[in-house]
Amino acid sequence: MSKHHVTTTINGEPVEFLCETQETMLDVLRNTLNLTGSKEGCASGDCGACSVICDGKLVCSCLMLGVEAEGRSIVTVEGVAEGDTLHPVQRKFLEHAALQCGFCTPGLIVASKALLDENPNPTEEEARYWLAGNLCRCTGYDKIIAAVLDAAAEMRGERSAA
């Protein structure tokens, strides 16, 4: 069985890859493109560790086939920072100690960025429901929510950058 040739955009760069029909986008990212920031926690769309933004929409890359990337634009955790400048969400996660083991963190960073792209002024409840698809077993979510709301405030210009 021959592989499929896929042309896509990842983190703003043109990318071509070959994949088997059944290969998920997560497998392609991790095993073909060496973008191992996206994690596999469940492979069933329940944990959110593989979250990416595809054409502006937050998706679990484990629920997307590699061939579905054709012609689309995908942002992974590796594309959230600009060069060596961290995204406010990344910086606030560090300042608030919003991570312990760090395994769910890439997915949460991507999901939080997607939230703030869509809703720059979320309430705590909105943030909690938006991030309900991203499991974290270490933190109890407290500092994650604090970090996301703080990042949102900073991005709205209500607090100066640290």
Among 19, 28, 143, 155, binds another protein (CB under 8 A): 143
Report how far apart, in Å, the C-alpha atoms of 15 and of each of 8, 101, 149 are: 5, 31, 34
Among all chains, which residue has been given the structure tokens 């590796």? 78
x/- site string to another protein, residues 81 to 120, per CB under 8 A?
Answer: x----x---x--xxxxx-xxxxxxxx--x-----------
DSSP 65: B
112: tokens are: 């939080």
How many H-runs (helices) and E-runs (strands) does the chain carry?
5, 5
Classify the C-alpha dihedral 34-36-42-48 as positive or negative.
Answer: negative
Among 6, 54, 78, 150, binds another protein (CB under 8 A): 78
The distance from CA 30 to its chain's CA centroid, rounded to whole angstroms, is 14
- Kindly state whether residue 49 participates in binding another protein, applying the rule CB under 8 A: yes
- Kindly state whether residue 77 participates in binding another protein, applying the rule CB under 8 A: yes
- Kindly state whether residue 15 participates in binding another protein, applying the rule CB under 8 A: no
- Kindly state whether residue 160 participates in binding another protein, applying the rule CB under 8 A: no
Give the range of 2-10, 65-73, 80-88, 152-160 binding another protein by CB under 8 A.
80-88
Task: For 144, list phi and psi in degrees, rounded to 5.
Answer: -65, -50
Among 28, 37, 60, 66, binds another protein (CB under 8 A): 37
Contact residues: another protein, CB under 8 A: 20, 22, 30, 34-44, 46-47, 49, 76-78, 80-81, 86, 90, 93-97, 99-106, 109, 125, 127-129, 131-145
